[in-house]
Structure formats: structure tokens, C-alpha cells
Amino acid sequence: MSPDDISRHKEALRRMQRELRLLLHEWDPIGVYGPGSECPPGEYDCLLVIVGKLREGASAGQLDRFLTEELKDHFGLDPRNAGVRKFSEKVHSWYWRDPLPGSLGSI
């Protein structure tokens, strides 16, 4: 997003980030948001860049590759049992139901 886009669409971006954070907490690949969890709400905020990737036209497959690498490199997890593909498709569909203005690409 260019600086002009950020200032004009700041509230839409914040809304998308809040919604994505909820989706990430629901997915919870590292298992920190179980009952009685005291984990900080921003545990997955490093993955909020997904909104920008989608706005730039990333496909579900590209998200899959990005998340696979993040789980391995950033979180130190084996992504094979994390449901990365299913989550990538879910997030891709979620984004394109109501994309940010100026988004490139389509479903």
C-alpha cells in the first residue's frame, strides 16, 4: 500500500487486520489459544502481512508457501500437520469477499 492508500483506507485496513487476527487465533497452529490461555493477543501479528500480500494479488498457493515457510522458520514448527493449505484457501476466500480498495487480482 502506498502512503496515500494507507491514509485513505486506514479504517478498512484496521478492520481487515482485526478480522485476520481472529482467523489466525481460530487456526492457532502453535496451540497457544486454548481454554484458559494467557497468551498475548498479538502472538500471530507477524502474519498480518498477509493482508498486504492479498491486496497485491497473492493466490492461495502463494499464501500456502508463505505460511509454510513462516511456520518452519519463524515458529520452528513442522507445517505438515498444521492445515496450512486449508487455512490459506480460507483466508484467500475471506479476503476476496470484501477486498481492500485498490486490490490487484481477483478470485
Lowest mean pLDDT among 14-18, 34-38, 61-65, 66-70: 34-38
Q: What is the mean pLDDT of residues 77-82?
A: 92
Kind and range of the H or E run holding 95:
helix 84-97
Checking if the pLDDT of 105 tops 80, the result is no
pLDDT band, very low/low/confident/very high, at 58 (cuts 50, 70, 90): very high
Q: What is the mean pLDDT of residues 15-24?
A: 94
Asked whether the beta carbons of 48 and 17 are under 8 A apart, the reply is yes
Kind and range of the H or E run holding 14:
helix 10-27
Cell for 63? Answer: 499464501
Checking if the pLDDT of 2 tops 70, the result is no
Checking if the pLDDT of 30 tops 80, the result is yes
Cell for 12? Answer: 478498512
- DSSP letter string over 21-61? HHHHHHH-TT---STT----TTTTGGGTTHHHHHHTT--HH
Average pLDDT value over all residues in the chain: 88
